[in-house]
Structure 1
Amino acid sequence: MDQIKRGTLQTETFYEQVGGEPTFRRLVHAFYRGVAADPLLRPMYPEQDLGPAEERLALFLMQYWGGPRTYSEQRGHPRLRMRHAPFTVDRAAHDAWLRHMFAAVDELELAPEHDAQLRDYLTYAAASMVNTPEA
């Protein structure tokens, strides 16, 4: 919804349009349910409890889409490729990550335009993290 404030047009962020923090927390929680049972992805999360990883991803996605800047305040610049460098992210990991993330997006039942925008970003993000060429 657009609002006029002090003579300028203010447009809601994607974060606000899709329901804010609760939506992103649902997305990430559903994603990590899939990761917890995935034999390829689970070993990439060294912490026994996936809770800290879930929190980091939720904060990152909320910030990326126009929500609070808590991620950067706590962790600095995202530096996603650097943070993922210790892990083998090949095509199989890429595909597994997207499979779980898209299943989580399905659970949100977003408006078609929001669904497409989120999937486009996730597809781009997953491709950006690949750091191991196919053999």
Structure 2
Amino acid sequence: MKEIKHRNIYDAIGGSDAIDRIVTLFYERVGRHPDLIPIFPDDLTETARKQRLFLTQFFGGPRLYEEDRGHPMLRRRHLPFPITPTRRDAWLHCMEEALLEANIQEPYHTVIIEKLTMTANHMMNTPD
């Protein structure tokens, strides 16, 4: 019988340390991206904290987001921000670069991008 090494993406990529690396690298990019700057606060500290909680839970780790903020209700929480296809693509590009720099290996890299692409598509609420 084959041994299962990891039960979820969170454990497979290295748990909280990996999430911290990804989020830090991601928001370094978001804070410089001309398409994203208009919809993000100047101080990304709280935004990054919430993202750490969300990604931990989204990738199968502890349910930290729900403990802190309740049900994610992502679309509702993002409705105040004009999320266009261009901004979706910019967000995903920043995440792709963060995953590469954080050295997230296959097959997890691809699975993460696929899951986040579905979520980002759902968040769009404004045409270009």
Q: Does the CA contact (< 8 Å) of 2:25 and 2:102 recur in 1?
A: no
* One-letter amino acid of the structure 2 residue matched with residue 69 of structure 1: R
1:103 to 90, 97, 103: 97
Q: What TM-score, normalized to structure 1?
A: 0.86
Distance in 1 (alpha carbons) for counterparts of 2:118 and 2:68:
25
Equivalent pairs counted in the alignment come to 126
Which structure is larger by alpha-carbon Rg, 1 or 2?
Answer: 1
Distance 1:103 1:36 in 2: 14
TM-score under structure 2 length normalisation: 0.91
RMSD value, Cα: 1.5
1:118 deviates by 0.7
From 11, 16, 20, the counterpart of 2:15: 20
C-alpha distance in structure 1 between counterparts of 2:65 and 2:30, whole Å? 21
Question: Which aligned pairs between 1:51-66 and structure 2 lie closer than 5 A?
Answer: 51-66=45-60
Q: Which residue of 2 aligns with 1:44?
A: 39
Partner of residue 6, structure 1:
none
Residues 1:75 and 2:75 are matched in the alignment: no
DSSP 3-state at the match of 1:115: helix
Question: Tell me, which stretches of 5 or more residues in structure 1 are unaligned?
Answer: 4-10
Structure 2 unaligned residues grouped into runs of 5+:
none
Offset, 1:28: 0.9
Amino acid in the other structure paired with 2:36:
L
Question: SS at the partner of 1:110?
Answer: coil
Secondary structure of residue in 1 paired with 2:98: helix
Residue of structure 1 in register with 2:29 after alignment: 34
The separation in 1 between residues aligned to 2:38 and 2:105, in whole angstroms, is 34
